[in-house]
Structure 1
């Protein structure tokens, strides 16, 4: 059943605070067992509901928020908001919520006219607790002008699908996947965010990134990383297709993670390396076009190195092991040093197989005593024998 927010008093005139009316429609749908809450074209201003964890609008089991399309239906934070808001739209804190989501609308954080950290979408149970949200679907949603994160599914969600959406001009990351289990991000675009385009973090596992694009972000195009807490590392992550270009740091960074595959992507024009593997194990870099990186710093196109966290929260040294670099076409820029460089820091058991490497000072430079190169490269690497 559909619930039109205008039947509950929402105006969508770009001036009135419609938060109470929209929430009333959501609550009515929930009380009836579920449904779609529809926002016709217009700009719906909303204010904070109370505490940061209350956000502005709270979705519940079996309730979906739907608009008339990105840019046609806009939910925008009111001018002068001066408190932290963990999700303009979110699930309830500390409640396991399932079968809900949002589609065909824009969230606008009104960054220029508000104060404190504001996130666009947020869902999840509670930090450090065993509960989880389940079966979340977000489609064709634009999130812009947040002072914090664009999309921030968080603290254990099982089976979230986020597709055909856009995050841009946000103060932190465009898209976050924080403790996501079995979910998918596909056909999304992140651009002009102040930090990373996509940030896959904090125990996320069995997760697929397919045909996403990140460009012009201040940090990395895409990062897979453990984060600052001493938790299980992200693992079993597939990054398939898409493009990562013109970002301030690396195109793709894999840090303190296990069994990550990056394949069939176009990675170019980034400030530092195209791909950097940093304290990770079992990473595969397969069939990518990696070219013309190192735009703002002298760097290899692909960098393999270990991560020293002995003074960090874990107290461990994370050695990069068992990286496979196979079937890639790697072409350097004027600042590129090597096609593939392995640092002399314990990194080992790297396998370079059948790559085409051109336009660099040296094709490969490997220090690991068990690392090998085979197949066609443009120049003999130092310290190894071509087979």
Structure 2
């Protein structure tokens, strides 16, 4: 190794004893920080001209200079004490240390041998003309099939995805998925990956993106945010990602343990059709979605409503999942027993936000439904009464400006539903005019329901447009067993409306109702 380059960075400043910069000051260079150190005079300036001292420029900055051969640490002194300086040509220093003879030389030789076989120069990755690590030296491009440590980069030469939003990357992505096998990670670097057919996700495979916006807003709607999989305009049926648990010759009878993380699915280029974002069928267990966004699908965002040989998907876990402006429902889960939805949001879908059908023992916590055309949450269907079955807990959730009821519960079954800490606001918008008899919470099922800590609030759109809604805070009709323990219910017409067709309605003493617009303060406690 020849001379190393020092100085020339923002940290290389000549200072006086008081800590201020010293423009034009002369400094000496030493091989150590103590008085016993030796001054170094074998120096070259950046042009290769010999020099013995350093001279700060008019701003007090110490320009680049070359030290003696093989020296990787020097000390500069401008009168305020000696300050250590390290080379700025880091790559050269690393190369020297990786090949140097020392007690660990055998280990370094082994590392050098491995990295040489992998096409990595001098034992470490180098940068190309664009300032990025050369593709051949990326870990995902090493070993058989373009993978290393079960990590598969779809842009690796072995797969060939471009991520330019133009080329069809479906074959490349599916090849990476199939190569990943159980426990493998398929990684999508920043880009727009055009997809023209369903991506079939096998057991134990993780799809990992570089970023998911979770919501698209002003200035974040176009190609300036290229981090997603995008359905091609002709891809208008099926689903962008499918997970099938069915012994049909192509899939196993039991599937599951897939992970989808930091990934956005975009259907904005598909004008019409029945394309879903994610579809699951049959015995598909323990799927996890985290930081996922599904936007502008011509059909549903997520749907697990398919049985195979009597088996349904179950025990899924969704965390921080956003479904944005899909043309039918946001999320549809049927018979997905033991499901957990945490910090999920559905906004602007044309039909219902969350549709939950017989998802026994489910937990929906801190989720939000906003601006959906129909219901925010719809808890529907016949919930199982077999041994071990149950109902669902809706905890700490909120709604805002959904077209119909904020939460509609018309489910049957014997398990008790818990609705706790629900906050509804401005639901029953009904396209703008309001009216229609909609409510923040509508209860019309025969299954038992326990409600505590409920609030409902009226209002118009943010700009004062549209009419005040909803008509009712809680609307109860055809229900068999309802307990409301504490609530504050502000609605246009009535806080609680009981149409007389119910069997057992129990209202606690901590309920207050208010009617009129959002300026009304005529509060009436229920006694």
Q: TM-score range by the shorter chain?
A: 0.7 to 0.9
The answer to whether the 8 A contact 1:171-1:194 is kept is yes
1:105 aligned to 2:263?
A: yes
1:6 aligned to 2:155?
A: yes
Alpha-carbon distance, 1:287 to partner: 0.6
Distance in structure 2 (CA, Å) of the matches to 1:168 and 1:179: 24
Q: Tell me which of 173, 177, 183 is aligned to 1:22.
A: 173
Match of 1:116 in 2: 273
1:303 aligned to 2:475?
A: yes
1:342 aligned to 2:342?
A: no
Relative to its length, the structure with more strand (as a share) is: 1
Q: Structure 1 unaligned runs (5+)? A: 49-55, 126-131, 307-319, 362-376, 381-385
Give matches, 1:1-387, under 5 Å.
1-7=150-156, 8-30=159-181, 33-48=182-197, 56-71=198-213, 72-81=226-235, 83-85=236-238, 87-92=239-244, 94=246, 95=252, 96-110=254-268, 112-125=269-282, 132-155=283-306, 156-201=312-357, 203-226=358-381, 232=384, 235-258=390-413, 259-271=416-428, 272-292=438-458, 299-306=471-478, 320-332=479-491, 335-336=492-493, 338-345=494-501, 347-360=502-515, 378=524, 386=527
Structure 1's consecutive aligned runs of 4 or more residues displaced over 6 angstroms after TM superposition are none
The answer to whether the 8 A contact 2:194-2:229 is kept is yes
Distance in structure 2 (CA, Å) of the matches to 1:66 and 1:239: 29
Alpha-carbon distance, 1:379 to partner: 5.7
**Compared with structure 1, are the counterparts of its residues 257 and 18 closer, same or farther at alpha carbon in structure 2 (3 Å cutoff)?**
same
Deviations 1:201-249, CA, capped at 9 Å, x for gaps? 1x211000000011111011111001xxx78489511000021111100
Alpha-carbon distance, 1:22 to partner: 0.3
Distance in structure 2 (CA, Å) of the matches to 1:138 and 1:23: 19
Distance in structure 2 (CA, Å) of the matches to 1:37 and 1:123: 19
Tell me the C-alpha RMSD between the 2 structures.
Answer: 2.1
Say which structure, 1 or 2, has more relative contact order (CA 8 Å, 6+ apart): 1
Distance in structure 2 (CA, Å) of the matches to 1:79 and 1:298: 38
Distance in structure 2 (CA, Å) of the matches to 1:174 and 1:360: 32
Question: For 1:24, what is the secondary structure of its paired residue?
Answer: helix
The answer to whether the 8 A contact 2:487-2:511 is kept is yes
Task: State the structure with more CA Rg.
Answer: 2
Distance in structure 2 (CA, Å) of the matches to 1:164 and 1:206: 20
Deviations 1:62-86, CA, capped at 9 Å, x for gaps? 10111001145311111233x421x
The answer to whether the 8 A contact 1:273-1:293 is kept is no
Count of equivalent residues: 327
